[in-house]
Amino acid sequence: MTPETPIDRAHAEMESSDAARLRFFERLGDAELFLLLTEEARDENLSPELFDLADGRFVLAFDREDRLAAFVGRPAPYAALSGRVLAAMLAGQGVGLGLNLDVAPSAMLIPAEALAWLDATLGNRPDHVEARISEVTPPGGLPEALLSALDAKLVSAAGLAQGAYLAGVVYHEGARGHLLGFVDAVAGAEAALAKAASEALTFSGIEAGAMDVGFFSASDPMAAALARVGLRFELPKPVAPASAPSAPGMDPGRPPRLK
């Protein structure tokens, strides 16, 4: 039996609460999945195996290569791509996802409607607003689910900023809230970081207005204020990628196409 995966753990917990179901779909969107194909991928075109079942038409994907091999029982072509890319590829096609069928405790059929919801949820963009901060305070009253979600989500933001701090804030207008402040973000990475924070909120089941996002240079006095009282989140250092050809589905800017 293969070791337990994050998908397995999230699946085991998903029936316990609405928040746990959201966390499962967050893990699914972030996971690398191995999609069973009828033939080797060519350029950005994929030809997935389609299965007609009583509940509809499905493609099959697995969260480990050895699970795919165990299911097929023979050498078979596949494409490695993220769950979010797969959801975007299938959205509107009327095709669901058979996940880890027959080879893992997380085996399940995810209907086309659920994939369309996941794609739409992941496609949401946070609103851009400007507000002046008059006071920075220690964070308080935020649920553990959000803190855990932020910690997990920011792992995927390796190298995009030097660090991040979560703190309470009071705005000049008198409103109070929380701010996740990124320090020394890489130029052009602001949208990706804001979206990662927004997804952590969404999949924690927390109201979108519970946390704002800001970007500051290390020399900005606000960065020093956040460091004094805020909760720090470490962003991992980037790992240099091995030199290899780009595989279909690995570039979010070039999602693969169904043949």
Share of the chain above pLDDT 70, in %: 86
Q: Which among 205, 33, 200 is positioned nearest to 106, based on CA atoms?
A: 33
The pLDDT score that the predictor gives to residue 246 is 46
Instruction: List C-alpha distances in Å: 82 to 96, 227, 244.
Output: 16, 34, 18
The pLDDT score that the predictor gives to residue 101 is 95
What is the model's pTM? 0.69
The pLDDT score that the predictor gives to residue 160 is 92
- Residue 129, pLDDT > 80, answer no
Residues spanned by CATH 3.30.300 within the chain?
A: 133-233
Residues spanned by CATH 3.40.1350 within the chain?
A: 6-123
Q: Which amino acid appears at position 198 of this protein? A: S
- Residue 100, pLDDT > 60, answer yes
Highest mean pLDDT among 59-73, 149-163, 165-179 belongs to: 59-73
Q: Which amino acid appears at position 116 of this protein? A: A
Multiple choice CATH, 6-123, 3.40.1350, 3.40.50, 2.60.40, 1.10.490 = 3.40.1350
